Amino acid sequence: MKQFIFICLLFATFQSINGQNLAPVISGFNVSVDAPNSSASLFYILNDAENDPLEVIVQFSKDGGKTYTTLESPDISGDIGFPVSSGIRTATCQNLDFSQPLKYVFRLIADDLQTFDIQALVDQVDSTRLRNDLTFIEGIRHNSTGLNHLNETRDSISRLFNNQNLHFENQSFPIGNLIGQNLIGTNPGTDSADQVVIVDAHYDTVANAPGADDNGSGTVGVMEIARLLSQYPSKKTQRYIGFDLEELGRLGSINYVNNGIPASESIKGVFNFEMIGYWSDQPNSQSLPTGFGLLFPLQTQEVANNQYRGDFITNVGNDASNSLGLLFSQAAQQYVPGLKVISLAVPGNGSLAPDLRRSDHASFWDGNHQALMLTDGANFRNECYHTPSDTLDEKLNFTFMSNVVKATLAAMAELVDIQHGDWATTAYDLSSGTHEPLPCSFHWLPGNRLMLQGEGCLEGEYTIELYDISGKQLMSRNVNLNIGVNNAIDLPSLPAGIYLAKLGGENTFYTQKIQIH
């Protein structure tokens, strides 16, 4: 087996050198659960453009997708492990724990073991999408002066995380008469899920500012990375966070660091966006904090030699975060060579440079976690900081903003060990009633008809879907089923071959391979 895998990897390397290899795609993933017998049947379709042999794993969650356990033999059998080829595939799970009325989640990961093309991923960052997102988010986002838009922004972030199929949590915490809300989307790692990499930004504003740069720019940066990176599995856990109440003293991130990190987790790195949209190539558009030259003489000279132009992103870490800061700088140089980066490393937790502690990264420093602040310099560059003039208009540079997002995306993809694969989940909720697999079966009949048979079929309205072996949906039709009756459904004209038929209804579904002759 090891020799076979080695040969496949050599072949994969040859392909990647001679042209971009496409990641495999999972479609039609669903599960029929037999809770009384602690078992489940999995159905899915794999499609790999190059027909690479795939490694397939199945994971099971008893906490709604927050954590997963990988199912291994003898508890799972069928089309899993390595190698698995493209096509309609099945697996059977045994000895599952359905003892509690919970939301169970099955997760399927397919990896062709190819090298991931991070540059191709980085190139998908879309400055127009960043502008459109920021056009919506711009506006006062404050509990007393902009509560409606604050809630609209929360809804937008939450909806994105859910649409990306991330495990979503709203970490609510009371602060006097306020309820803060940290919005957290997680894609658990496939191999080292206890190792977590975070990209974050605060989404609140001060009372009088629409906060386009502070910190709408950081917020849309997190959203863009979540859209792109979370499509793919990774060995370490990806986490995306919108922090609340930063403007009241980092209250959201302090609460998260103190109360939101499980003891079993190890934070491998935090990329904190704090204003990433203001750029200027005008001389003297950049000023520096008092005492900056004493702590950072080389960087001060670099800014001075460039006539104090505000045309760079500042990569702020502390001594304990040196490796993370270096990773970001190298990612920028390799994948976004047009982005100018000035890197700083403050001693300890940054108390000697209080101006460099003014964002949520400092909460992680105080908790002894590696973290960076990526910033355009706030009030040391942007004269609209904390004023009603903090709007996107012509003030923000979306090429610069997208370049910062690109460099962060590249660094994060490397740090989480992104995989050249696909992932999909199916949830099964036992908390809302009885969910049983339909005791039915499909049979193809001459004349291109599909017969649904079985006296145990439940009466009601259902949807019948038909897929070919590549995962393409060929039919979707609503039907009414009657108890004890054989129900025949006309099919489209199809060539002979293997197909996947899926019958779905409220709280239940049934999937089966069928052969058309």
145: number of Cβ within 10 Å = 14
Counting residues of the chain whose pLDDT is more than 90, the rounded percentage is: 73
What phi and psi, each to the nearest 5 degrees, are found at residue 142?
-140, 145
Please report where in the chains the tokens 């794999």 appear, as a residue: 46
pLDDT of residue 439 exceeding 60, the answer is no
Q: How sure is the predictor about 429, in pLDDT bands with cuts at 50, 70 and 90?
A: confident
Please state, in angstroms and rounded to a whole number, the distance separating the CA atoms of residues 294 and 451.
Answer: 81
* Alpha carbon distances (Å) from 396 to 171, 336, 391: 31, 19, 8
pLDDT of residue 215 exceeding 80, the answer is yes
**pLDDT tens-digit readout, 444-462:** 777 777 776 654 455 677 7
> Is the sign of the CA dihedral 336, 337, 339, 340 positive or negative?
positive
Q: What pLDDT score was predicted for residue 24?
A: 95
pTM of the model: 0.85
Please report where in the chains the tokens 């502690």 appear, as a residue: 357
Please state, in angstroms and rounded to a whole number, the distance separating the CA atoms of residues 86 and 25.
Answer: 9
- 30-35 mean pLDDT: 83
**pLDDT tens-digit readout, 337-374:** 999 999 999 999 999 999 999 999 999 999 999 999 99
Residue spans of beta strands (DSSP E) within 94-214: 103-111, 167-175, 178-187, 192-202
**pLDDT tens-digit readout, 490-513:** 888 888 777 777 777 655 566 667
Smallest CA-to-CA distance from 161 within 210, 101, 219 is with 219
Q: How sure is the predictor about 269, in pLDDT bands with cuts at 50, 70 and 90?
A: very high
Task: Show the domains of the chain with their CATH numbers.
Answer: 1-115+420-437 (2.60.40.10), 119-415 (3.40.630.10), 438-517 (2.60.40.3080)
Q: What pLDDT score was predicted for residue 10?
A: 43
Q: How sure is the predictor about 35, in pLDDT bands with cuts at 50, 70 and 90?
A: confident
* Alpha carbon distances (Å) from 461 to 277, 331, 426, 443, 453: 52, 53, 21, 19, 16
- 104-114 mean pLDDT: 96
Q: Tell me which H or E stretch contains 258.
A: helix 251-259
Q: How sure is the predictor about 482, in pLDDT bands with cuts at 50, 70 and 90?
A: low
Q: What pLDDT score was predicted for residue 508?
A: 57
Please state, in angstroms and rounded to a whole number, the distance separating the CA atoms of residues 335 and 122.
Answer: 7
pLDDT of residue 207 exceeding 80, the answer is yes
Q: What pLDDT score was predicted for residue 404?
A: 98
**pLDDT tens-digit readout, 10-30:** 444 444 444 689 999 998 788
Q: What pLDDT score was predicted for residue 506?
A: 58
Do 229 and 411 touch, CB atoms closer than 8 A? no
